[in-house]
Structure 1
Amino acid sequence: MRRRLALLAVATTSLVLIAFLVPLAVLVRTLAAERATAAATTWAQSVATAAALGDRDTLEATVRQAQGSGGVPITVFLPGHGFLGAAAPRGPGVELAARGRSITVDTPQGREILVAVQGGASGPTVVRAFVGADRLRQGVGWAWLVLGLIGLALLAVGIAVADRLARSLTGPVGQVAEVSRRLARGDLAARVDPAGPPEVREVGAALNHLAARIRELLAHEREAVADLSHRLRTPVTALRLEVDTMRDAEEAARVGQAVAGVERMVDQVIREARRFDRDGVRGCDAARVVAERVAFWSALAEDQERPLGLDLADGPIAVGVSGPELAACVDLLLENVFAHTPDGTPFTVTLTARPEGGARLVIADRGPGFPHPAPLGRGVSGGSSTGLGLDIARRTAEDSGGRLRAGSSPSGGAEVTLELGPGTA
């Protein structure tokens, strides 16, 4: 927009300058020619006065004075074929003037001023003053140069004023665009400082109102989610009490761990719902979190006789996801393996550090694999599940600056690759 306004100013100013300077330049050239012609005419009339007196000596003296002082070639065509002064051809203009008519003739070489002098006994005398083309244009070049410099100066002033005006317009518009991008990134505290023309200020005020309304609606939604999650504490507590009454200690411990996992997830939902702004840097050690969750699920894998291949890189590996969020993602992905593959199906968990920072977690199994395409959409499932697990993991990866890929493993089963962006461990 700023460049377009500058181009518009250049075009408009150029048109105005052309409309002003071109006629002025023509006028300067005309005035220079008229000035030279007027000076030559004055000397020609002086010589004509001397010619009218009929004194040859006076006429010759006057011609010499005119050529010396005025710098204008003077020729006096006497009756017959004689002449005094500068040699010049006796052209058609001279013949016409000899009939008693004073005229001005333009030629390719310059301009002739022809003055007819009547009263001679032998016929009329013609006085010719010649102004060369260079003399007609004398001073025009410098005048045009000055006009050109003035035009360039005015053009520069016009561009500067247009640029300043453009900045006053594009600055507030750019601020509105920046606040819009911050809101899109989740910074709900971003606000516009209304400035610029009334229309732009109105847009900024509307964007501020929209941001405040979004923040208000999101706060109500998160409070509702937090309240709903808090209500789940009652059935979870009842389950824990039931676990305490179980007689089989081993079974009670296993069910107790499952109940503890549910309770941990409920607490995580409540924390996430009540955290309105995420201005702080989130991060954790992916090696430690993945190792803890794999150790938790390894007991179930051993009960179901599932061979587990584990390849975890040495930590710490800093990723841009909080510990509870990463733990929930790993639980969701491992839960998919146990839920959608038969007992005894081998699976592998591989964690490596990314060269650009962050971590890459690959969970692959030798089960039936995903349908085509893999169900990455929210609520899309290839089985009887809710279809939210992979979508939650995908959003967690994208929030950290990474991504989630799902496809087939080399053995033909399912393979999920969770790439996490760098963070602070």
Structure 2
Amino acid sequence: MRQRVVRVALTAVLVALVLLAVPLALAIRSSLYADQRDALERAALAAAVRVNPDYLQGDPAELPTAASGQRLGLYDPQLRLRAGTGPQSGGDVVRRALAGKVTRSSAGGELVAAVPVAHAEQVIGVVRASSAVAQVRGRVFAGWAALVGVAVVALTVAVLVARRQARALAVPLEDLSRHCRAVAEGDLAARAAPSTIIEIDQVARTHNDMLHSLSELLRRERDFTANASHQLRTPLTGLQLTLEAGLAQDDARPVLEEALAATRRLHETVEEVLRLSSSAGLPRRTALDRPVGELLARAEKRWHALLAKDGRRLELAVQDVPDDVRIPGGPATEILGVLLDNARAHGRGTVRVAVRDLDDALAFDVADEGAVDGDGVRLFERGYSGGGPGAAGIGLAFARDC
């Protein structure tokens, strides 16, 4: 890309230089030739005013000293050289000047200006001034050389500016390309840095927004997988215990009913995990569809056997909470389930669940006789656990998100 930008810039500069330099070169040539003819005419006029009319009677005619590279000559009406330097015969240019007009011409490799000498309203001679064309041509070539030098300097500056601009354009795009390559290799934390070019910054911001959305999508998928595996573990364990207990009974109906209830709980858990995953980052509204008493009854039925299997007790208490108070059944069930599962897995002794009325909210207190290890502030961070080996650090984070 850098070479392409430089080539485009150089092409534009070259076209501009050609369009400017060719007319300017022609103007330099025309101007230098015109200046030389003007100088010859001025020299001839200055000499003409000093010519003594008596030169025709044989008096000597004196002409001023010619400038370097110029020749001055005085010609009589018969086109003969009477004073100064020049060809012996005046030729056509002198003949035309005898008509009373200042004449200019280029002939024989010379620039010529002829000025008539008048006396008593009659032309009595002609002063002829001339210089070599090669002299003017040398100045033209010098002017053209200066013009070429300026063009070369302009082209050099254009190359430097083009390379700098090409680098300014290419570096952000190359950086964006590196970030895209890093993303393709799995580094979703890569972010494109801002530049000084608005359009490229817009692309970079869009790229970063896309990465943020993609990272958020992948995070939600990972969280869904982790939440599902974590939340389904306990219901599956309960279902397994129910089925194992049913193997020793002749009447399988109660066992099947319990297993059916366990599958309903599994379904509710999956629905809650899906709801939480699909609404991540969005405000959620949940229906107040379950009385507190029913929630506690279900919790006791579900967790009593699991805790009893470990030789532990479950106690539930409601403190000044009306029976008709309703709460969001799905989230509350999952939150209470996480707290009870933590108490079973990481606590000791009797597990006590108390529900308290806080006027504008309900508080669920889950306590056991164990101790909390680790940083209590960070316990609700995903991936952090104070439960020792085997703890995933998912449950409390899931409960917080519910």
State the TM-score, normalizing by the size of structure 2: 0.51
| Residues 221-230 or 76-85, more deviating | 221-230
Aligned residue for 1:169?
169
Aligned residue for 2:75?
77
Query: Does the residue aligned with 1:118 lie in a helix, a strand or coil?
Result: strand
Aligned residue for 1:97?
97
Higher Cα Rg, which structure:
2
Show the 5 A alignment for 1:16-415.
Answer: 16-55=16-55, 56-59=58-61, 61-62=62-63, 65-67=64-66, 69-80=67-78, 82-84=80-82, 85-107=85-107, 109-119=109-119, 124-226=124-226
Cα deviation, residue 113, structure 1? 0.7
CA distance in 1, matches of 2:180, 2:108: 70
Relative to structure 1, the CA distance from residue 178 to residue 86 in structure 2 (aligned partners, 3 Å threshold; closer, same or farther) is: same
The answer on whether the counterparts of 1:17 and 1:151 sit within 8 Å (CA) in structure 2 is yes
Question: What are the Cα deviations for residues 70-90 of structure 1, in whole angstroms up to 9, with x where unaligned?
Answer: 432223222335323322544
Question: What are the Cα deviations for residues 161-208 of structure 1, in whole angstroms up to 9, with x where unaligned?
Answer: 232223222221221121111111111121111223222212212211
Query: Does the residue aligned with 2:25 lie in a helix, a strand or coil?
Result: helix
CA distance in 2, matches of 1:167, 1:72: 57
CA distance in 2, matches of 1:220, 1:71: 93
May I ask how many residue pairs the two structures share in their alignment? 237
The answer on whether the counterparts of 2:32 and 2:136 sit within 8 Å (CA) in structure 1 is yes
Relative to structure 1, the CA distance from residue 166 to residue 156 in structure 2 (aligned partners, 3 Å threshold; closer, same or farther) is: same
Cα deviation, residue 104, structure 1? 0.8
Aligned residue for 1:12?
12
Relative to structure 1, the CA distance from residue 40 to residue 153 in structure 2 (aligned partners, 3 Å threshold; closer, same or farther) is: same
Question: What are the Cα deviations for residues 302-358 of structure 1, in whole angstroms up to 9, with x where unaligned?
Answer: xxxxxxxxxxxxxxxxxxxxxxxxxxxxxxxxxxxxxxxxxxxxxxxxxxxxxxxxx
Cα deviation, residue 133, structure 1? 0.8
Query: Does the residue aligned with 1:201 lie in a helix, a strand or coil?
Result: helix
Unaligned 5+ runs, structure 2: 245-402
Question: What are the Cα deviations for residues 233-287 of structure 1, in whole angstroms up to 9, with x where unaligned?
Answer: 969xx8xxx9xxxxxxxxxxxxxxxxxxxxxxxxxxxxxxxxxxxxxxxxxxxxx
Relative to structure 1, the CA distance from residue 122 to residue 3 in structure 2 (aligned partners, 3 Å threshold; closer, same or farther) is: closer
Relative to structure 1, the CA distance from residue 8 to residue 213 in structure 2 (aligned partners, 3 Å threshold; closer, same or farther) is: same
CA distance in 1, matches of 2:123, 2:141: 43
The answer on whether the counterparts of 1:36 and 1:135 sit within 8 Å (CA) in structure 2 is no
Relative to structure 1, the CA distance from residue 70 to residue 222 in structure 2 (aligned partners, 3 Å threshold; closer, same or farther) is: closer
The answer on whether the counterparts of 1:110 and 1:136 sit within 8 Å (CA) in structure 2 is no
Q: Which amino acid aligns with 1:99?
A: A
CA distance in 2, matches of 1:198, 1:32: 50
Cα deviation, residue 217, structure 1? 2.0
Query: Does the residue aligned with 2:70 lie in a helix, a strand or coil?
Result: coil
Relative to structure 1, the CA distance from residue 127 to residue 208 in structure 2 (aligned partners, 3 Å threshold; closer, same or farther) is: same
CA distance in 2, matches of 1:90, 1:37: 18
Question: What are the Cα deviations for residues 375-415 of structure 1, in whole angstroms up to 9, with x where unaligned?
Answer: xxxxxxxxxxxxxxxxxxxxxxxxxxxxxxxxxxxxxxxxx
CA distance in 1, matches of 2:31, 2:72: 22
CA distance in 2, matches of 1:122, 1:205: 90
Question: What are the Cα deviations for residues 37-89 of structure 1, in whole angstroms up to 9, with x where unaligned?
Answer: 23322332233233343235541x42xx534x543222322233532332254
Query: Does the residue aligned with 2:189 lie in a helix, a strand or coil?
Result: coil
Superposition misfits of 4+ residues, deviation over 6 angstroms: 120-123, 232-235
The answer on whether the counterparts of 1:32 and 1:138 sit within 8 Å (CA) in structure 2 is no
CA distance in 1, matches of 2:121, 2:172: 90
CA distance in 2, matches of 1:28, 1:128: 26
Query: Does the residue aligned with 1:51 lie in a helix, a strand or coil?
Result: coil
Query: Does the residue aligned with 1:137 lie in a helix, a strand or coil?
Result: helix
| Residues 195-204 or 81-90, more deviating | 81-90
Q: Which amino acid aligns with 1:77?
A: Y
RMSD: 3.5
CA distance in 2, matches of 1:13, 1:121: 60
Q: Which amino acid aligns with 1:71?
A: G
The answer on whether the counterparts of 1:98 and 1:126 sit within 8 Å (CA) in structure 2 is yes
Cα deviation, residue 28, structure 1? 2.8
The answer on whether the counterparts of 2:109 and 2:134 sit within 8 Å (CA) in structure 1 is no
The answer on whether the counterparts of 1:74 and 1:129 sit within 8 Å (CA) in structure 2 is yes
Q: Which amino acid aligns with 1:144?
A: W
